[in-house]
Amino acid sequence: MLGPHPAKSSQMVMLSTLPLLLLTLLVLYRFTQADSVYTQDQLQRPDLASSSRSITFSSTSSARQSFENMEKSFGSAWQPPKERIRNNVVFPLPPSVLPEESSILKTDSLPSNRDYLPEVGNGHLATVVGSDSLFMNGLYNGANLSSHRARIPSPSGYSIQTESLIPGGLTRSYSLDIGRAIFTESYEGGGVTITLRTYAHSTLSHLLVSELALTRDDVNKDVELNVKVNPGAASEDLDFHTDTQGLLRGLTREAEYPELAPRTEGLDSSVGNGFAPWPRGRGFETQPSTVRAPTGWGKISMTPGSKGETYLALAALGHNRDIVLAEYALALQAWESGQLLSLHTEGWSKYWNRGRIDIEGNDYLGHVFWDQDTWMFPTVAVLHPDLGRRLVETRTRTLDAARLLAKRTGYKGARFPWESAFTGLETCPAEPYGEREIHINGDVSLMFKQYWQLTHDKSFMAQGKGAELVWGVADFWASRVTHSTTNDSYRILGVMPPDEWHALVNDSAYTNNIAVINLDFANHLKTVMGQAENPQWREISAKMVRPYDVSRDYHPEFEGFNPRDRTKQADVVLLGFPLMVDMKPSTRQRDLHVYDRTTPQGPAPAMTWGMFLIGWLELGDEAKAETLLTRSIQNAQDPFLVWSENADGTGAVNFLTGMGGYLQSVVFGYGGCRLHDDRMTFEPRLMPSATRMRFVGVSYRGCSLDLEYDSEVLTLVLTSVDKGHQGLAVRFQDESKWENLIEGRKIEKKRQPFEIQSKGN
């Protein structure tokens, strides 16, 4: 996964627990022809929950021995071993399912601003290439508002020292391969090729892999180089020690909220029954030198007579000892059978084949907050519903913490924090965001509504705490509103809207409208679950103040809003999408005009223009939308298209919110996709300069379909129907009847709007 910048972005989804096991292999392995070939199925991680005691670690024992040998060879200063074991095979790069001309970003020099370096990750671990830091999902250090992702000194920040290269005069290049999820540093010339690849393994997710491949046409030509690693300083977040088998064990130094989740220690080699609490304040008297990353691989020379060699470095990282050791062993098996790289690329090929967007002829190339719910979830869920389920589960996981936060702040139900990390309590380091930006609760509940519309996953709502969460948010709103006896209405006072330049307002249009949506959806779920509606929720929804200026036909951002004021970003514009508030086309147009004038053209966050773009496409103004598309992609910084919060490169780096807004402009703008309670609609348009667009793996109600169109013709094909689901029906704008989709059969029509629904409707 080419994931978020671990050192800068605060929008990663964090799920795991605190203890850390780190196993690092930095010796170089010899390729041995295996007696048997390991298939991908054989190399899958075992079900350790049910069979951990039956696993034999033949390769794992070798791995542990290798680790011990590494310590003996490197010594206390981690010096390079005197002799290297080489692999006399260079593995070919497996094919990519994506066209390489559009999915490989290549440059001959790295950006001067190191913030724009790319990163590799797989959802479990991630690192900026060549950096001194590694980050793991769910690992936080720091008390309450100071909680942050714990930095692990990276054992894999490798690079090649150009001044040491023999032969000289080689051409250097760097590439980010999005299709294969690999970063490469290469040197070529005179029949010599040197390639350093770095990737977070897609199948063995606890592994970070570095491979150094050397080839030469003339076996008599000397090839020498030095490979260095960026060790950085010792971690300020973790204490480490080594166990008897060479495993490094880490412990976070400070718990986020000790009463909910004290810091914990990993399993000791003599303990097999879980994790034991580590008393606060206790630590290690000394820190072993082996905690530090190595000084480097040192000098490497090709073996006389060899035309090709590959060197390997692995880092295995995780919370569970057995999984770390098992994946480490499986990686060695895969390496020996020549499948370690291909298993990784095959995993990504499957991911891309399940859901992606292809655009032909186009010239355009951990804290959790509303970015996840509002900006990332919709596109992810439409193309990868399994990942959408994981995102909603990040909220049900912290439902008890949300209830505790509501109680602590004097309200009922469930109140979600503006920023959260491990425990689910507030970790935003600055006020007044955590106190006032309560629309986060509406964003969370809206995500659950969208998930329900997309999947009708009743088991999740009933048994997975989905309905409990939605009802908890509704109870929070019911306790947070103020009843006005003057006109018998309900108001929400003292909030910060999405436009954070107005820090204390009453009756935010966005906040009040999303609260109404939450309350109505909560009662809808009551009906679905066979329960009576909540009359209080219904009354508040019906009588909620929702700002609207009749004379000017637009929505003021809040009570007393002056349309000559400046606004930070998209706010009221979000009423049209994603809130889909019912309004006249003239009102939608006025909102877009008014807030286009109030929003700065330069420093506004990237996702703002995606939402304006969607609005103008709703109204059929493709010329205006094209201008906004051009504006939005200016936030993608060369050469690796790392997104910044602002177009001038300022603000947050690797800004996932902006990326999410851009993707939504493609799916919900040019694809015209909309979710409704009983159907999914599309109004497909071509992006500027595109000749054809293809949406692969659009998911709806347990079914998957592919949509492809050019300027004239639209093709639709149902590709799969999950067990227990009834399939889909389609109705095109030029027809009045619904037509059942048959799996595998293409329907070709003139490009036009259409809608799909489950056959069960």
Residues marked active site are found at: 500
Tokens of 375: 């900006």
Three-class DSSP category at 153: strand
Strands 207-216, 192-200: pairing is antiparallel
Angle in degrees, CA 101, 103, 107, rounded to 5: 75
Say if CB 446 and CB 579 are below 8 A apart: yes
Report the distance separating Cα 22 and Cα 292, nearest Å.
12
Report the distance separating Cα 359 and Cα 669, nearest Å.
14
- The candidate with the shortest Cα–Cα distance to 539, out of 446, 472, 477, 469, is 477
Report the distance separating Cα 393 and Cα 397, nearest Å.
6
Say if CB 666 and CB 745 are below 8 A apart: no
Q: What is the phi-psi region of residue 238: left when phi exceeds 0, alpha when psi lies from -120 to 50, beta otherwise?
A: beta
DSSP track, 374-433: IIIHHHHHHH-HHHHHHHHHHHHTTHHHHHHHHHHTT-SS----SSB-SSSS---SSTTH
End-to-end CA distance of the chain: 37
Tokens of 168: 């000289």
> Which residues pair with residue 740 across a beta bridge?
729
Distances (CA, A) of 277 to 254, 544, 599: 13, 48, 50
Phi, psi of 478 (to 5 degrees): -65, -30
Report the distance separating Cα 211 and Cα 444, nearest Å.
41
- The candidate with the shortest Cα–Cα distance to 57, out of 333, 272, 343, 335, is 333
Core vs surface per residue 578-600: b (16+ CB within 10 A) or e = bbebebeeebbbbbbebbbebbe
CB atoms within 10 A of CB 675: 20
Three-class DSSP category at 442: helix
In the DSSP assignment, the letter for residue 109 is S
> Which residues pair with residue 302 across a beta bridge?
none
Report the distance separating Cα 275 and Cα 279, nearest Å.
13
| The residue count for the chain | 761
Give residues with Cβ within 8 angstroms of 443, minimum separation 6. Answer: 370, 373, 374, 514
Report the distance separating Cα 667 and Cα 676, nearest Å.
15
In the DSSP assignment, the letter for residue 722 is -
Phi, psi of 16 (to 5 degrees): -90, -165
